[in-house]
Amino acid sequence: METAKNEGHEKNWESGLMILCGLSLVAGFTLEHFFALPPVYHHTAWTLAYLSGGYFGVVESFASLRKGQVDVDLLMVLAALGAAYVDHPLEGAMLLFLFSLSNVLQNYAMERSRNAIQSLMKLRPENVSCQVDGKWELQAVADVQPGTLILVRPGESIALDGKILRGQSAVDESSLTGESIPVAKQIGDKLYAGTLNQRGSLEYEVTKTEAESTLSKIISMVENAQSQKAKSQRFLETAEQFYAAGVILFTLGLIFIPWKIFDEPFDRSFYRAMTVMVVASPCALIISTPAAFLSAIGGAARKGVLFKGGVHLERMAQVKVLAFDKTGTLTVGKPSVTEIIPLSGEDEENRKQLLRKLAIVESHSEHPLAQAVLRKAKAENLEVPEPRDFHSIPGKGATATVEGSFLVAGSLRYFEEENVSIPDDLLARCQTLQDEGRSLILLAEQTDSLNLLGVVAVADEIREDAAQMIAGLRKRGIERIAMLTGDHPRVAAHIAAQLGIDDVYAGLLPEDKVEVIRKLQAEGAVAMVGDGVNDAPALATAHLGIAMGAAGTDVAMETADVVLMSDNLCHLVNAFALAKRSRRIVAQNLIFSMAVILVLVISTLTIGIPLPLGVIGHEGSTVLVCLNGLRLLSFKV
């Protein structure tokens, strides 16, 4: 906090000196040209302009020289002093003023990029209503510990991560996930700091401290990301000192060669050299990359897309091969009932009776397929009483007594092993369902033999927007798309065919996914998209790891290079679009900056443009580059 205050004071001090320099510049010009006063008056104004406008440049120059480096600040200070030496203090003061103004504007622009995510902090209140000895009392958020019970009323912000114990409501989570539609919340659901409770009072138990909350991790992640520079930015910063040294040597050549060899007047060659030193300075070039990447990172973070550094944003634009984990990424990740086929006739009543009986048998099972059946029964408001004599048959099924009947639920293979009679038409239908990637649960009643009652099909369904997402990625330059899954090859092939995926790798363990990623890397830069848990090794191996739907998932945040807080697949497409747009804007900035330097240098050496015009062209290009980069703050992610 103290560091932030010091930085704020320094920025205010820099702005104040810039204003003082401008006022002194105007005063010096006015006193020299409009008042018949002794020279000491306008000389004093020029001196004040130089001291105020050049203060930070001198400080930065000495700091660089102590490290054995030469930077742009030194070039500007030398050029201003050179202008004063040849009796052009107005041009030197104008240079220092515009250079100071340009730095202030750059700092403002970059600060907007760096602080974009900090707006989330305003959503978190400083105090919350906590239960203490049976009474609700206000406590500072920083003092609240896990296990504390908090009350949040309609319209209030949620201060800390937690789990709902009482009440139900709709919560606006757009600040974290970028999703504008409120999320329905009920008992047992998670709440995240920085989100907004819209309807209904909620009582929830705190699960994480303020520092450990999802919101705090996001802010920390973005702050760290902004310190991780892109490869192009690191190159330009390294090249700056060599370029600046080269400019100084070139300037010295422009001073002494025309003067000593061609007998040109010293003042003329010196003035031209100072102008070249100004226009050749790489200010706009150096700011080109961070102006764009920091804006992109900050703008994307506010919409739930977190890049862990400019290097990852730059790398995403280079990806040609994209590998997806299937479950929870291309599919919903939660099995659901898709078909109910009673043998007694497929009318609505028979369908409900078969589902109800199967739900009763499966009510004590923790298997994902059993849970899918129970969710379907609950959705249809079916009564599911407790079964008697429940018994699980590992890997095969379960049995239970339901309302006096002994029922058996199991897989098709189990029933075939038990030689249960299955009608040919139903068997053919079961085969078709399995080819489509469905898992089957058969239900039978035990009398003298097992009498089949019907079949329920369950599947992890493809996300509604998956096909649209695949098409969008191809439009944005992804040349090859692969799917990696531990599922059965037949299921994987069916899903891949529906989505138009190029390569399918099925039956994989986590270590197998790593080998597939290494194989794909032979074709170009590879990005891996997964849930960040069992996919962590593959995410770490790929050139770029992308975790989806990672709100509150610690493993995903720590492993991936890019984190999509929402499971909305459109955000993935837009993240690639943002990466491509960022690369284009960086290219625009670099080409524009180099073109301005080239034009100004050639113009100075040929037609001899005056120093003030060179200063305006140089500083103007720097400001334009910053403004061009700032456009990424509002990119639609």
Distance CA 99, CA 621 (A): 12
First to last CA, the chain: 31
Mark whether 325 is an active-site residue. yes
Distance CA 274, CA 269 (A): 9
DSSP string, 461-481: PBPTTHHHHHHHHHHTT--EE
- Candidates 421, 290, 314, 402; CA nearest to 356 is 402
Number of C-alpha atoms within 13 angstroms, CB side, residue 461? Answer: 10
Catalytic residue among 71, 73, 325, 535: 325
Give 3-state DSSP helix, strand, coil % of the chain, rounded to 5.
55, 20, 25
- Candidates 453, 461, 456; CA nearest to 437 is 461
Query: Who contacts 604 (Cβ-Cβ below 8 Å, separation ≥6)?
Result: 272, 275, 276, 279, 614
Q: For residue 10, what are its two tokens?
A: 């320094």
Task: With beta carbons less than 8 A apart as the criterion, state whether 562 and 545 touch.
Answer: yes
Rounded to the nearest 5°, which phi and psi values hold at 160?
A: -140, 155
Q: For residue 125, what are its two tokens?
A: 């209140």
Q: Are strands 562-564 and 190-191 parallel, antiparallel or unpaired?
A: unpaired
Distance CA 377, CA 208 (A): 35
Query: Who contacts 79 (Cβ-Cβ below 8 Å, separation ≥6)?
Result: 92, 95, 274, 275, 277, 278
Q: In what order do the strands lie in the sheet with 169-172?
A: 183-185, 169-172, 196-199
Active site residues: 325
